[in-house]
Structure 1
Amino acid sequence: MPELYVGERHWSVTSGSNLLDALNQAGVAVPFSCRAGSCHACLVRCEGKVDDQQPEALSPTQRQQGWRLACQCRVSADLKVEAFDPQRDGLPAQVVGADWLSSTVLRLRLQPERALRYSAGQHLVLWAGQVARPYSLASLPQEEPYLEFHIECRQPGAFSDAARQLKVGEPLRLGELRGGALHYDPDWQSRPLWLLASGTGLGPLWGVLREALRQDHQGEIRVIHLAHEAEAHYLTKPLAALAAQHGNLTVELWTAAQLQPALAQLRLVSRQTLALLCGHPASVEAFSKRLFLAGLPRNQLLADVFLSSPSNL
């Protein structure tokens, strides 16, 4: 059986074991979220042979330095592992804003030690001490000097619990900047653009929407936000203000009780429509099914799914 070495510890694991599971089951706290190789929260440095199921998820430079995504690796031989250390490997940042957009959504604004070049729709792993979780950026690149995140605090969670206590001036650490499926392409300028979100899935689409408007998008833009109840539509006023300024933008606010009849009435106005989806898996699936039934080609739908916070985050 192969041996895992972490610091002064070492123990045997079954050959073929998932590296993330083997570490966490032994008490080595490696954060994770998606388990799909997208969020990069489970980044670890390895010395030794490991079967990597998704080597393309990291850059050649990262791989040469020994970095791997624990969720995508299986242990096949003796392996030395070093967890990502936010104090050593993370980018320092400072809280410059922490206010509530609703009773459950915290708007967190951070100023990194050095400027980050990013695109609307990308995400970062945020570290509060040793607690980590990936969050999508809601800020507008090149236009806003801070990084903005919309954090859902309706349910308890290690990171959201820590985020509730954050004050202006407090330090955090940032992990790697990652690009998900969501973005705005200038080549889309004349095409209908639909942005469908549930919960704080609206955050990255808020950034994408403003990027599209900044680039003078000419086609129809339709924003649909699904929330548990009317009070949970946390960007109602800013969205209404943008709709008042841009004649090609319409905003629809749906509640869970309205979802099925609203979906049934969803019709495409053009086969050229592009749809960007973000939020809870069930909501994204419901949106996707209806859009496919309405005739939207699969390659014209881009989606990011927000998974529930695991217990160790």
Structure 2
Amino acid sequence: MPELCVGHRCWAVPSGSNLLDALNGAGLNVPYSCRAGSCQACLVRCLDGLPDDARPEALSADAREQGWRLACQCQVTGDLRVAVFDPQADGVPAEVSAVHWLGDVLRLHLRPARALRYRAGQHLLLWLGPVARPYSLASLSGEDALLEFHIDCRRPGAFCDQARSLKVGDALALGALSGGALQYDPDWQTRPLWLLAAGTGLAPLWSILREALRQGHEGPIRILHVARTPYLAEALKALAGERVRVEQVSREGAEQALAGFQVSSRQTVALVCGSPQWVEQVARRLFLAGVPRNQVLAEVFSERA
């Protein structure tokens, strides 16, 4: 059987073992969220040997050249020595600069130790002590040095339980920046753009909306935000106008609001973000409304205690 080593610890694992399971089975508590290679919470660095990688494209060529792999996507097929991601040594330090509670949503602003370049719609891994969780960026790169996140704290969770007590001046660490399924394409400038969010699915769409406006989007934009307690109402209202239509409704009013989305152009592009149930509901409604499937882009928020 292959030997797996971390630091001074070495142990035998069955050939073909999932690397994340092998590490956590040994009590190393490597964080993870999606197990699909998207959240990048389970980064490990290969020091000697390489595992079989099911999703090499999930990391940049530079990261792979440095030995980084996503443990959830790797199988141990030979002797392997790895180092798990250390947020203190491998991450970017950040400080809490503002904390705003919008109902059960924590609007968090962080000031990183160095400026980060990212695009609207991307995720960033946040570390609070040993706990890591990916969150969509609600801020715009180049607009401000601050990073903005919307964190749903309604339910208990390892990250949320700590996030509730955050205050200005507290320290966090920033991990990997990952792709995200949603982004603004400059080629859409004259096309109708629909942004449909549930809960904190508003975060990446809030960023994408402002990116579209920054790039001079000429087509009509329609925003629908469905939430138990709508937030950012005033900020959204400030952007509403002749070309930007904003609707914020309760969950009970979601179906009726969706029924009001009528396609005036087959060029319409729809970006959808929220829970799996929300994305499925919207995708079905948009298909019936006549939006081509390849013009509906969706981001599903994973939930993990």
Fold-level similarity (TM above 0.5): yes
Cα drift, residue 43 of structure 1: 0.6
For 1:157 and 1:38, locate their aligned partners in 2 and report how far apart those are by CA, in whole Å: 19
What is the CA deviation profile of residues 217-239 of structure 1, one whole-angstrom value per residue up to 9, with x for unaligned ones?
Answer: 11111111122x3xx11122211
Q: Which residue of 1 aligns with 2:239?
A: 242
Contact 2:116 2:141 in 1 (8 A): no
In the TM superposition, 1:123-272 aligns within 5 A as 123-227=123-227, 229=228, 232-243=229-240, 246-272=241-267
User: TM-score normalised to the size of structure 2?
Assistant: 0.95
Cα drift, residue 87 of structure 1: 0.5
Cα drift, residue 265 of structure 1: 4.4
For 1:222 and 1:24, locate their aligned partners in 2 and report how far apart those are by CA, in whole Å: 44
For 1:285 and 1:25, locate their aligned partners in 2 and report how far apart those are by CA, in whole Å: 34
Q: Which residue of 1 aligns with 2:297?
A: 302
User: TM-score normalised to the size of structure 1?
Assistant: 0.93
| Uncovered stretches (5+) of structure 2, i.e. residues with no partner | none
What is the CA deviation profile of residues 111-144 of structure 1, one whole-angstrom value per residue up to 9, with x for unaligned ones?
Answer: 1111111111111101111111111100122222
What number of residue pairs does the alignment pair up? Answer: 304
For 1:280 and 1:271, locate their aligned partners in 2 and report how far apart those are by CA, in whole Å: 26
Cα drift, residue 175 of structure 1: 0.8
2:247 partner letter: E
Quote the RMSD (CA, aligned, Å). Answer: 1.5
Q: Which residue of 2 aligns with 1:49?
A: 50
Cα drift, residue 61 of structure 1: 2.1
Cα drift, residue 264 of structure 1: 4.1
What is the CA deviation profile of residues 213-270 of structure 1, one whole-angstrom value per residue up to 9, with x for unaligned ones?
Answer: 222211111111122x3xx111222112211xx2111112232223334434432221
Cα drift, residue 26 of structure 1: 2.0
| Uncovered stretches (5+) of structure 1, i.e. residues with no partner | none
Q: Which residue of 2 aligns with 1:20?
A: 20
In the TM superposition, 1:52-67 aligns within 5 A as 52-67=53-68
User: The residue matched to 1:155 in structure 2 has which SS?
Assistant: coil
For 1:63 and 1:119, locate their aligned partners in 2 and report how far apart those are by CA, in whole Å: 21
For 1:87 and 1:180, locate their aligned partners in 2 and report how far apart those are by CA, in whole Å: 25
For 1:153 and 1:64, locate their aligned partners in 2 and report how far apart those are by CA, in whole Å: 37
Identity of aligned residues (%): 64
What is the CA deviation profile of residues 141-193 of structure 1, one whole-angstrom value per residue up to 9, with x for unaligned ones?
Answer: 22223000001100111111111111111111111222212111222111000
Cα gap change, 1:19/1:197 in structure 2, threshold over 3 Å: closer, same or farther? same
